[in-house]
Structure 1
Amino acid sequence: MTDASTVIAKPVSQNRAIWQQFRTHRGALFGLIVLGVLAVVVLIGPYLWIPEKLSVAEAIKLKNQGPSWRFPLGTDQLGRDMLARMMLAGRISLAVGLVAMTIAILFGTLIGVLAGYFRRLDGPLMRLTDMFLALPLIPLLLVLVMLFRDRVASIIGPEMGAFALIVFAIGITSWMSTARIVRGEVLTLKEREYVLAARSIGARPHRIILRHILPNVISPVMVSATLEVANAIITESVLSFLGLGFPPDFPTWGRLLFDGLQYMQVYPERVIWPGLAISLTVLSVNYIGDGLRDALDPRIRGR
């Protein structure tokens, strides 16, 4: 009969170990809860809170109202329910952050892997990265939006045209940090024993990259992805705040800030609500990124 003291404990799975380390980070848990609540509110809220339909005359009488039971967040300059517009704007802002992040991560990972693995591509691709880093981001985005907004809108419509142009412009100008991080990881990984062994038996470069390199750069890429979401939301808010983002009838949190700017001194809640939503979202995403960085590092979680 086996002594209980000699029984070897079952090893903890990697996913469970990552979660155990992640939940010890109070800021990351706070960010996950807040971001989850915001996502649920903006996704489900519009189906539960349906603003009453008002005539033009009634809407004009109700413009710039303060918070009340009828309008929990007040009304805007056209008498529209701010709560309904905040939830709709949240959908668009979060969608912009996720899609722009996806573009930046895919492009940055591709550049980083190619530069890190193939020595002859390292110099040209890193100089391209340095060139993009040297470009002033906001002026470049303003030029792109002003040049191509009308052309894209004439093809796929003003709303979808603005969305496609803005997320592509943000994504294509935000990949540089991911590329640098991935390149550094690949330079280390390609000298590991298992990569050298795969190369020695004649494995093709694309197979080595897909089977051995990419699975081991997922951790830093995930951390970079959380930061890119926050960066994309802030960048879109800046564009909308400058009046070069989405059309007025296609609200985002940045657009609501821009619309409420001229009423800020008389009706400060018009800028408080969208500004608070942007701040909470960005803060939550940054905290989640910090928690993922600690949880995905084997040295920190004691392995």
Structure 2
Amino acid sequence: MKTLVLEYGVEQGRSLTQDALARLCKNKVAMLSLFILLFMILIAILTPWIAPYSYEEQNLLLGASPPSAEHWLGTDVLGRDQLTRIMYGSQVSLMVGFIATAVALTIGVLWGATAGFLGGRVDAVMMRIVDVLYALPFTIFIILLTVIFGSSMLLLFLAIGAVEWLTMARIVRGQVLNIKRQEFVEAAVAMGLSPWQIISRHLIPNVLGPIIVYTTLTIPSVILLESFLSFLGLGIQPPASSWGSLISGGVETMEEYPWLILFPGLVLTITLFSLNFLGDGLRDALDPRTSKD
């Protein structure tokens, strides 16, 4: 009987990934945030087919009108449907957030992993470059780029991504310094693998947890930066719209037409909160110390 208990009473083990997913699924706030973000992304993808109007369609006779059965979120001063413009704005804002973050992620991970693994003078020089760049006023730097080269969407992606990688580089470097003396890295060196092979195959995969968490926290800061630039008139140019440009337009008439700033501001706020809550949930799920076992 004891043999049977031992044989059938042993609980099957789970991998670290399965354990992290299980903890994440138990976090109701993080899961709700994930569903909200997926819904936002789905709306952005389907906007050309489900938007009730064209984002350029104007009705000057209608002007700025409050929410109604025909225009659920009202219209702006040019008679353009506010719901449609928010939906098209989600494409720009989310695209800037994800693409600029991908640029920052690529630069930061490679820079930090290389500096941490090679160490010595290479590490010192690379991290001093990071320190110098940290001292620069990056918002002014992006503004200068947009003024000199124009306000193209591609430039906006590259400019924001090129200044958001510094913290990622420091995080990855610190993680690499902690694991580069472990046995599996020394074994890879003994096998004659090149530094690039060790960095790409062994070091980066083992620091994915902090990378994923910081990525979810970088996306909202990038969206907020784009919104700030659009608020200053240096982001997306009319007739295209982003959440930031819609908020900028709503500020000018917020006393007369409060719905022009209320709805895009609400959508932006919900998105930023969802990204931050999801980041917190991923941080807790990927940290083994949060396990209650």
Structure 1 length as normaliser, TM-score?
0.90
Cα shift at 1:203: 2.7
Cα shift at 1:55: 8.2
Q: Tell me the equivalent position of 2:11.
A: 9
Change (3 A) 1:42 1:202: closer
Change (3 A) 1:53 1:93: closer
Q: Tell me the equivalent position of 2:178.
A: 188
Residues 175-226 of structure 1 deviation map (CA, whole Å, 9 limit, x = unaligned): 0110000000010111111112222333322222122111101111111111
For residues 238 and 20 of structure 2, what CA distance do their matches in structure 1 show?
43
Cα shift at 1:302: 5.2
1:199 has 2:201 as partner? no
Change (3 A) 1:54 1:244: closer
1:294 has 2:284 as partner? yes
Cα shift at 1:82: 0.6
For residues 193 and 83 of structure 2, what CA distance do their matches in structure 1 show?
57
1:114 has 2:104 as partner? no
For residues 39 and 134 of structure 2, what CA distance do their matches in structure 1 show?
35
Cα shift at 1:21: 0.7
Change (3 A) 1:11 1:54: closer
1:237 has 2:227 as partner? yes
For residues 172 and 18 of structure 1, what CA distance do their matches in structure 2 show?
31
CA contact (8 A) 2:230 2:245 kept: yes
Q: Tell me the equivalent position of 1:165.
A: 155
Q: 1:26 aligns with which of 25, 28, 50?
A: 28
For residues 169 and 129 of structure 2, what CA distance do their matches in structure 1 show?
11
For residues 83 and 201 of structure 1, what CA distance do their matches in structure 2 show?
59
Structural RMSD (CA): 2.0
Q: Tell me the equivalent position of 2:100.
A: 100
Cα shift at 1:81: 0.6
For residues 94 and 301 of structure 1, what CA distance do their matches in structure 2 show?
33
For residues 81 and 146 of structure 2, what CA distance do their matches in structure 1 show?
29
Unpaired stretches in structure 2, ≥5 consecutive residues = none
Cα shift at 1:118: 1.0
For residues 57 and 221 of structure 2, what CA distance do their matches in structure 1 show?
39
Number of residue equivalences: 290
Change (3 A) 1:52 1:254: closer
Residues 62-100 of structure 1 deviation map (CA, whole Å, 9 limit, x = unaligned): 110000000000001111111111100001100010000
Cα shift at 1:52: 7.5
Could you tell me the percent identity over the aligned residues?
Answer: 37
Cα shift at 1:106: 0.4
For residues 208 and 164 of structure 2, what CA distance do their matches in structure 1 show?
18
Which AA in structure 2 matches 1:134? Answer: A
CA contact (8 A) 1:46 1:84 kept: no
Q: Tell me the equivalent position of 1:254.
A: 244
- Please give the secondary structure, in 1, of the residue aligned with 2:290: coil
Unpaired stretches in structure 1, ≥5 consecutive residues = 150-160
Structure 2 length as normaliser, TM-score?
0.93
Greater mean alpha carbon deviation, residues 234-243 or residues 278-287: 278-287
- Please give the secondary structure, in 2, of the residue aligned with 1:85: helix
- Please give the secondary structure, in 1, of the residue aligned with 2:68: coil
Change (3 A) 1:279 1:55: closer
Residues 123-164 of structure 1 deviation map (CA, whole Å, 9 limit, x = unaligned): 111111111211112211111110111xxxxxxxxxxx6111
